[in-house]
Each structure stands twice: as C-alpha cells, then as structure tokens.
Amino acid sequence: MTRKSLPLTDELHSYIVAHGTPPDELAQELAEETQAALPDEAGMQVAPEQAAFLTFLTRLLDVRHAVEIGTFTGMSSLAIARGLPEGGRLTCFDISSEFTSVAQRYWERAGVSDRIELRIGPAAETLRSLPTEPHLDLAFIDADKTGYPLYWSELVPRMRPGGVIAVDNVLRHGRVLAPQDEADRAIAAFNETVRDDVRVDVVMLPVADGLTLARRR
C-alpha cells in the first residue's frame, strides 16, 4: 500500500501505456511526424496515456459539446473527437495555422474532421464568440500558461452542471514548488485560484506534467 503516486520511470511509463488501450497507427504516426518535423516543440504534444484518457473521459461524460484551447498538431483534439458520439462537436482554438495544418490532415485521415471546427486567433478574443449560457460538457486547456486565468474565467460560466474542465501542465515539471519564470509563476497562482473556486470540485492528477480536472457544480 502507498499513500502517494509512484515515481514514474521510463520503464513504468511504457508499462502503463502498454496496459491501456494503445495508440493506433494513425496516432503513432502523428506523434512521430511531430517529433521529426518539430523537435523543439514536440514536448507540447500530449502524452499517449493522456490522449487515451481524453478519449475515455469524453465517452464517459457522453460529451456533445467540447472545447479545446491549444491544438498544436492535433493529438488531443484527435483523442477528444474520437470519443464524441454522432452529432458531437469539438471547437478548437489556436493561434497557429502552421501547426494546426498538421492537425487538419490527421482529422481528415481519422474521419473526424466533420466533428471539429477550428478557429484561428487569440483565444482570449475568440472564446467570447461562444454562447454565454452553460452548455459545454468538456473543455481542455493546453495553451500559453499565462493565459490560463483568462481561459478559466471565460469557460467556467459556460460549463453545464457536471461538465468538466481538464487543464494540462499544472505541475510545470515540479517547478510550481519553486517557480523559475513567468509561466511557472502564472501556473502556481492559477492552481490556487482553481482550488479556491467554489463553483467547481477539483482533483489534480499526476498524469504527464500534471492534469487538473474540475467538475462544475
């Protein structure tokens, strides 16, 4: 028995990935293309177990209306879209046409492009184009870290009761304990804000670089 999560070695990580639903050939190809074409940015792509979790969560919540902030080359959006039922919709917000052009190719190949709407532009502005009433079942935040508080403030009122916001990179490789730059400090402060928000129930999971799940009360 243990009262805390185990340290995750490379071998244990491989074991975890191998004992869940594995990435299919298309997802694996997307990961490999991203690493080859964008080696300096490839770390922005969600981990394979995180992608599997997003598909699982989307199905578990029976998500019909989902939002993603920060699409990059499309691994997380592909995972969410694959979990949507017929008629489900995912709206993706990103600022890069270059990175998301890769995502669009893989959405097409996976047969989910009809479920996804991509909006290019600063999410701080484009998010406000969403209906203001509570209607979202799932939101995934994985974009510029200093923007998290603003994305949170725009999303929480739009979540239906029982809807879930998933927030990536909330541990900053452990640097939330001793922030070293502006992004670290922003996430450390954001985590305090989320914890104290009476509108949601919150759990922070040690998945990849830290994943917060917040359920709208």
**CATH code where residue 202 lies:** 3.40.50.150
User: What residue spans of the chain are helical by DSSP H?
Assistant: 10-18, 25-37, 48-60, 75-83, 97-110, 123-126, 148-155, 182-195
Residue 12 domain-assigned (yes or no): no
- Residue 36 included in any domain: no
pLDDT, position 8: 84
pLDDT digits (tens, 9 = 90+) for 118-129: 999 998 889 999
Query: How many domains would you assign to the chain?
Result: 1
Q: Return the pLDDT at 1.
A: 61
The proportion of the chain whose per-residue pLDDT surpasses 90, expressed as a percent, equals 88
Please, which pLDDT band fits residue 168 given cuts at 50, 70 and 90?
very high
pLDDT at 5: 83
Q: What is the mean pLDDT of the chain?
A: 95
| Structural domain includes residue 149 | yes
Tokens (6 digits) for 151:
């994305």
175 closest CA partner among 194, 156, 164, 188: 188
- pLDDT at residue 22 above 90? no
pLDDT tens digits for range 29-85: 999 999 999 999 999 999 999 999 999 999 999 999 999 999 999 999 999 999 999
Q: Which residues neighbour 70 within 8 Å (Cβ) at sequence distance 6 or greater?
A: 44, 93, 94, 123, 140, 141, 142, 143, 144
Percent of the chain residues topping a pLDDT of 70: 99
* 184 pLDDT above the threshold of 90: yes
List the 89-94 sheet strands across, edge first.
116-120, 89-94, 65-69, 136-141, 159-168, 211-216, 200-205
Residue 85 included in any domain: yes
Query: With 80 as the cut, is the pLDDT of residue 130 above it?
Result: yes
Give tens-digit pLDDT for 69-99: 999 999 999 999 999 999 999 999 999 999 9
Domain range spanning residue 116? Answer: 43-216
Q: What is the DSSP letter of 207?
A: S
Q: Is residue 144 part of a domain?
A: yes
User: Mean of the pLDDT values across residues 159-183?
Assistant: 97
Residues 187, 143: Cα–Cα separation, whole Å:
12
Residue with tokens 């490789």: 173
Token look-up 């009433």 returns 133
Q: What is the pTM of this model?
A: 0.95
Binned at pLDDT 50, 70 and 90, residue 199 comes out as very high
